[in-house]
Amino acid sequence: MQVFKFGGASVKDAEGVQNVARVMQLMGAENKVMVVSAMGKTTNALEHIIDLYFAKDKMLHQAISDLKDYHYSILNNLFETKAHPAYTKLNYFMDELEVFLDRNKSPNYDYVYDQIVCFGELISTSLVSQYLKSVGIKNTWLDCRNLIDTDDTYRDAKVNWKRTQTKIKAHVDAGELFITQGFIGSDENNFTTTLGREGSDYTAAIFAYCLDAENVSIWKDVPGVLNGDPNVFKDTVLLNKISYEEAIELAFYGASVIHPKTLQPLQQKEIPLFVKSFYNPENAGTAVQRASLIEPLVPCYIVKKNLVLLSLSALDFSFFVEENMSEIFALFHKYQIKVDLIQNSAISFSVCVDNKFKNIDKLIEFLKAKFKVTYNKGVSLYTIRHFDQDAIDRIEKDKEILLKQTTRETIQFVVNE
Ligand code: ASP
Ligand code: MG
């Protein structure tokens, strides 16, 4: 079996869906599991819907109807007749979404979030499945929530590998083409869970691991993994080969091209991961596999934006000791704050953290009771792997550097932007 993952950008409009069909025709539609994300920016649109819902904002119904229209317009461009079953699927899921919002009593944001965002993937996969059938590509649609078994950590659910493997093996047979959703799963009580934003790559890896797949291909609008985001950095080059370890490092530092959790299951079974262009499916792209470092060996640039640099020292100017740190890390965990960089001195401790769950203000308030706290919001973290002086000069030029840290292979800068 092979696992193909198509992200939101690949199915953002009717041409995109038609192109996915072209890729499948070219690559052969047997022996494959296709994992497909929500179309275009649908997940963001659903996040907005959730916020409107909690705010009891009257724009909620408009936002829902805009989302429906977006999908309708794709269908109108794909199918000749409105009698096509794809329309029924779309209506069905949009109705389910509204029924949930009507009936829900839970004030638990994360739980509600997962019950709503899943519709992006459920709709996109149904529409893609229907379209492929209409052009003669036989396939079976699977509701991934019956396959990916997780705990109930909504928005960041942990996979139960054993149960997931049993279910996947029971539902997926070699020889056919299966289409399923990325990013979603379900907990013990059959409530929908999600694996974290951009989690569809991870889903592809879960399928590959459970099926002992030959390889995974992630189809993107870029030629493969570049040594930097071309929207941020000039003169980027394509990396032909990357070792698992190096790819894990790059993902850890924030290279958004591969989701950090995706690589570990693949590495364990040495399943190669290809990152390829859905515009040029014949091109080799990038292979992440058992290899040495990267080829070609060039500096790799990564930037994470909108972080918070937090510096703490004891109120009485005493030393900053292990006990303080373990207390602080327990708090980071409690407030779901991810730490990107740590630097400590005798009397102070600085961390660059993300604020994905928007808990930072609460945490800062809490910390102020015990520590002297200073912070900068909206900072960026630049990382260069395999740096040289030229690469450093490129980043340091015209920037206000708040903090700098060097290790053997990596240099990082926290920048005020
Ligand atoms: N649709 C989800 C997101 O945009 C999952 C994914 O695309 O990987 O985060
Ligand atoms: Mg996406």
| Ligand 1 atom nearest to CA at 198 | 8
Which residues are 371's β-sheet partners?
A: 314
| Among protein residues, the one whose CA lies closest to atom 3 of ligand 1 | 198
Pick the ligand that lies closest to the CA of residue 200: 1
**What is the pLDDT, as a whole number, of residue 116?**
98
Residue 403 token pair: 């903090």
Q: Please list the helix, strand and coil fractions of the chain in percent, rounded to the nearest 5, in that order.
A: 40, 25, 35
Residue to probe by mutation, ligand 1, list 122, 183, 203, most atoms within 8 Å of CB? 183
The Å distance, Cα 185 to ligand 1 centre, comes to: 13
Question: Of 20, 109, 97, 99, whose CA–CA distance to 63 is shortest?
Answer: 97
- Of the two residues 315 and 178, the one the predictor is more confident about is 178
Ligand 1: which of 46, 197, 218, 356 to mutate, most ligand atoms within 8 Å of CB? Answer: 197
Mean pLDDT, range 213-233, rounded to an integer: 93
Ligand 1 interacting residues, C-beta cut-off 6 A: 7-8, 37-38, 43, 120, 182-183, 197-200
* Architecture in CATH for domain 300-416: 2-Layer Sandwich (3.30)
The domain locations on the chain are 2-220, 300-416
* Closest atom of ligand 1 to CA, residue 202: 8
Residue 149 pLDDT > 80, yes or no?
Answer: yes
pLDDT at 35: 98
CA of 6 to the centre of ligand 2 (A): 9
How many other CB atoms are found less than 10 A from the CB of residue 137? 18
Ligand 1 atom, smallest distance to 199 CA: 8
pLDDT digits (tens, 9 = 90+) for 260-315: 689 999 999 999 999 999 999 999 999 999 988 899 999 999 999 999 999 999 88
pLDDT above 90 (res 96):
yes
What's the CA-to-centroid distance between 183 and ligand 1, angstroms? 6
What CATH homologous superfamily does 2-220 map to? Acetylglutamate kinase-like (3.40.1160.10)
Counting residues of the chain whose pLDDT is more than 90, the rounded percentage is 88
Please spell the DSSP secondary structure of 62-106, one letter per residue: HHHHHHHHHHHHHHHHH-S-TTSHHHHHHHHHHHHHHHHHHH---
User: What is the C-alpha end-to-end distance of the chain, expressed in Å?
Assistant: 46
Q: Cα dist. 228→58, 123, 138, 181 in Å?
A: 42, 32, 38, 28
Pick from 392, 308, 387, 292: which is nearest to 354 by CA?
308
Give the residue, 254 or 404, on which the prediction is more confident: 404
User: Which amino acid does the sequence have at 45?
Assistant: A
User: pLDDT tens digits, residue range 396-415?
Assistant: 998 999 999 999 999 999 99
Among protein residues, the one whose CA lies closest to atom 8 of ligand 1: 198
Residue 34 has pLDDT above 90, yes or no: yes
Predicted confidence (pLDDT) at residue 24 exceeds the cutoff of 80: yes
Of 11, 41, 43, 261, best ligand 1 pocket probe by most atoms within 8 Å of the beta carbon: 43
Residues in the chain: 417
Q: Residues 337-354, buried b or exposed e (16+ Cβ, 10 A)?
A: beebbebeeeebbbbbbb
* Cβ count within 10 A of residue 411: 21
**Residues 355-369: pLDDT tens digits?**
888 899 999 999 999
